[in-house]
Chain A
Amino acid sequence: MDSSIAAILTLDGLTNGIVYGLIAIALVLVFTVTRILFIPQGEFVAYGALTLAMLQQGQRPGPLWLLLVLAVCAAGMQAAQLLRAGQAALLPRTLLGTLGVPIAIAALVWWAAPQQFALPVQVLLTLLLITAIGPLMYQVVYESMADASVLQLLIVSVGIHLAMTGLGLVFFGAEGFRTPAFWDERWNLASLTLSAQTVVVVAAAAALLVALWLFSGRTLYGKALRATAVNRLGARLMGISTTLAGKLSFAVAAFIGALSGVLIGPMSTIFYDSGFLIGLKGFVAATIGALASFPAAAGGALLVGLLESFSSFWASDFKEVIVFLALLPILLWRSLVTPAHDEDEE
């Protein structure tokens, strides 16, 4: 192994690591705000990449129907709640509020899909569609059990993951897709080939991080999210709606997932079930950050990417084994340095 090979491997590892890092950040965000270990995060990645592929072909993407069904379910649940509380007068306004935006987005995608717009427009449509699914999913699935234990929430997450994988097969078919690169260019720097897509990944990740930083530091909603992450009960006492925080965190997670999918799509063939493994690696990275620290999770993701890249060079048979085995020393170290405390904080 010479320095040029090491450089190529490092670059490849870092590119993948950045995508894992985005996923890890979404996982940490969702976990700190809602205590949900969001296993289906990877599915949003696959949905993002494949929705873009569908739009490329001028077909109407399947997640459109998922969005509509979730919106109808959410509206139905709200209606039932209002009727039970005897507040039928509020019904029209609530239903309009819940159904309006999803139906508008679905209609927009329905109309735009066969028009075959330019790639940037299709990327925006993809991000819009997948992001809209996030908060509705929280509302339909998790809202009523927001105070359940971490284990119960995890079990539900596994169920959602299985359902989303199955739906992915129905929506996109069994064959994989590769979306066109945003910027199809390759530069040769000595022995290293730098593809423009790598630059796009780095730029998009950086832009996202800055946006998240501004959002959490400068906006009221961002501060509410942070407050909920620090202490749910305290935040509620201060008048912050934990439901709103949950929906918001899911919207951000779905957006990050769809963005990761759009970024990774041109670099690799994505199948309907590819999301799980990508999500798991993001999860390893999030664990390095103890599901609490964003910088540690991001650093962990780069580590996972590098580990993966180098281990597939040296021992391709054992690549997955090495990556997931890396969890053990990390967990051991975590359990040694973290003082034991009661899990149920409230």
Chain B
Amino acid sequence: MKTKLAIKAGVLAAMLACAGMAHAELTIGVVMSLTGPGSGLGIPAKNGFALWPETIGGEKVKMIILDDATDPTQASKNARRLVAEDKVDLLIGSAAVPPTLAVADVALESQTVQLAISPIETAEGKDAWTFRLPQSTAVMAGGVVEQMKKMGVKTIGFLGYSDSYGENWLKEVQRLATAAGMKMGTVERFSRADTSVTAQALRVVSSNPDAVLVVASGSGAAMPHKALIERGYKGKIFQTHSAASRDLIRLGGKDVEGAYVISGPAVVPEALPDGNPSKPLATDFVTRYEKQFGAGTRNLFAAHTYDAQLVLQKVVPMALKKAKPGTPAFRAALKEALESAGPIQISQGTLNYSPKDHFGLGDDARIMLTIQNGNWKAVNP
């Protein structure tokens, strides 16, 4: 008995020693929009962290989450604090475009890898340390224009946010549509806090385009959609991936029936064909997330933070071979690993970062959905 106990104690001691050796933990700084106009995106993104494992590559994960109030200045301040005081190995964030750009500046300056949760466009070279998890606007707009072309759309109306999200979409759709021989018609804008978009909808409807693209996010996407229907618009209405959440159906009701919504595959694993490599991951994400946060809560932003963990499980072991966490060498190794890891399977498609391309997702990372009987349905699975 005594020898057994001694062996047990010995094993325990050895385990403790090992644990002690691997003590250097992976510190992750998160800048997220938990309040302010971006909170509808930031809160689910933060919820996605609940699905993270406790350790990545054998290192304990230590996470520091700060709220940026959807304010670029606050985001920049938070990122600076994380880098300077907490000496984080990696930055994640933010959920809305303007604060994410602010974090990207700090990432570049401090040479810390940033995993961005929104598809920011930067000047050339400014994104050297920034890797995006969402699809670029160009990829998503490509899907929208492709579908419009298939349906024989000739003129497009635009009803979107008067901010950088709306502008990016307008720019990309304009470029792709012109190339595909379509005409961009009336362009109308509104802001998130508007209580009425009747006037803008009226103008779009009176020019009678074949299809209208609504660029808005989350539950804000329902009002412009309803306004178009109320003004008697009979053509096709398209929505962007920021609207691909249950809120659109909840608020839109019967008015959003038949709408086309471009989305990442993560929110509709049911609609994916069996051979799709994203299907098992997307299914895992959706079942675990909804088990914790309730049925129908799945959304793209939580999928992005779920994906962040998949990416890290691949690249952190690679970086650990070169350096210890908490050092500049580790941060550099992480960047190198991201750029050279090759294809990484995530719930949204296949990431393929290279030194030149920090977007990584291609055309397989999108799926066109339509709303039928209050549920999502894939258009061409």
Binding site for B on A (CB under 8 A): 5, 8-9, 12, 15-16, 19, 166, 169, 173-178, 186, 193, 195, 264, 267-271, 273-274, 276-278, 308-310, 312-313, 316-317, 319-320
Residues on the A chain within 8 Å of B37, using CB: 273
Residue B66, interface by CB 8 Å: no
Chain B at the A interface: SS class: helix
Residue B195, interface by CB 8 Å: yes
Interface size on B, residues (CB 8 A): 32
Q: Known interface pairs A169-B39, A277-B193, A320-B191. Does A269 touch B199 (Cβ–Cβ under 8 Å)?
A: no
Beyond the given A175-B40, A269-B223, A316-B189, could you list 6 further A-B residue pairs with CB under 8 A, ordered by the A residue number? A12-B196, A174-B42, A271-B192, A309-B196, A312-B190, A319-B190
Residues on the A chain within 8 Å of B256, using CB: none
Q: What residue in chain A is nearest B253 (Cβ atoms)? A: A178
Q: What residue in chain A is nearest B33 (Cβ atoms)? A: A174
Contact across chains for A312 and B197 when beta carbons are under 8 A apart: yes
Complex: A274 Cα to B195 Cα, angstroms = 8
Q: Among the listed stretches B214-222, B284-292, B349-357, which one makes contact with chain A, having 4 or more residues with CB under 8 Å of it?
A: B214-222
Contact across chains for B193 and A312 when beta carbons are under 8 A apart: no
Q: Known interface pairs A12-B196, A274-B193. Does A174 touch B206 (Cβ–Cβ under 8 Å)?
A: no
Complex: A96 Cα to B36 Cα, angstroms = 39
Complex: A312 Cα to B202 Cα, angstroms = 10
Contact across chains for A313 and B39 when beta carbons are under 8 A apart: no
Q: Known interface pairs A177-B251, A178-B251, A317-B162. Does A309 touch B193 (Cβ–Cβ under 8 Å)?
A: no
Q: Which of A264, A268, A270, A317 has the most CB of B within 10 A?
A: A268
Contact across chains for B197 and A177 when beta carbons are under 8 A apart: no
Q: Known interface pairs A174-B43, A176-B219, A271-B219. Does A5 touch B162 (Cβ–Cβ under 8 Å)?
A: no
- Residue in contact with B199 in the complex, picked from A169, A277, A309, CB distance below 8 Å: A309
Closest CB in chain B relative to A178 CB, distance in Å: 5
Residue B109, interface by CB 8 Å: no
Question: In chain B, residues 194-213, which have Cβ atoms closer than 8 Å to a Cβ of chain A?
Answer: 194-200, 202-203, 206
Residue B247, interface by CB 8 Å: yes
Complex: A9 Cα to B196 Cα, angstroms = 11
Complex: A264 Cα to B193 Cα, angstroms = 13
- Residue in contact with B35 in the complex, picked from A169, A308, A309, CB distance below 8 Å: A169
Complex: A312 Cα to B199 Cα, angstroms = 6
Residues on the B chain within 8 Å of A264, using CB: 195
Complex: A264 Cα to B196 Cα, angstroms = 10
Complex: A8 Cα to B230 Cα, angstroms = 12
Contact across chains for A313 and B200 when beta carbons are under 8 A apart: yes
Residue B121, interface by CB 8 Å: no
Complex: A267 Cα to B195 Cα, angstroms = 8
Residues on the B chain within 8 Å of A276, using CB: 193
Closest CB in chain B relative to A193 CB, distance in Å: 7
- Residue in contact with B162 in the complex, picked from A16, A19, A316, CB distance below 8 Å: A316
Complex: A193 Cα to B202 Cα, angstroms = 12
Q: What residue in chain A is nearest B193 (Cβ atoms)? A: A277
Contact across chains for B202 and A269 when beta carbons are under 8 A apart: no
Contact across chains for B199 and A177 when beta carbons are under 8 A apart: no
Residues on the B chain within 8 Å of A166, using CB: 35
Q: What residue in chain A is nearest B252 (Cβ atoms)? A: A178
Residues on the A chain within 8 Å of B339, using CB: none
Contact across chains for B196 and A174 when beta carbons are under 8 A apart: no
19 contacts between A and B (CB under 8 A): A8-B202, A174-B42, A176-B251, A268-B194, A269-B219, A269-B223, A271-B192, A271-B193, A273-B36, A273-B193, A274-B195, A277-B195, A308-B196, A312-B190, A312-B194, A312-B197, A316-B188, A316-B203, A317-B162
Residues on the B chain within 8 Å of A308, using CB: 196
4 closest residue pairs by CB, A with B: A313-B199, A174-B39, A176-B219, A312-B199
Complex: A173 Cα to B192 Cα, angstroms = 16
Residues on the A chain within 8 Å of B206, using CB: 5
Closest CB in chain B relative to A325 CB, distance in Å: 16
Q: Known interface pairs A174-B39, A174-B40. Does A317 touch B189 (Cβ–Cβ under 8 Å)?
A: yes
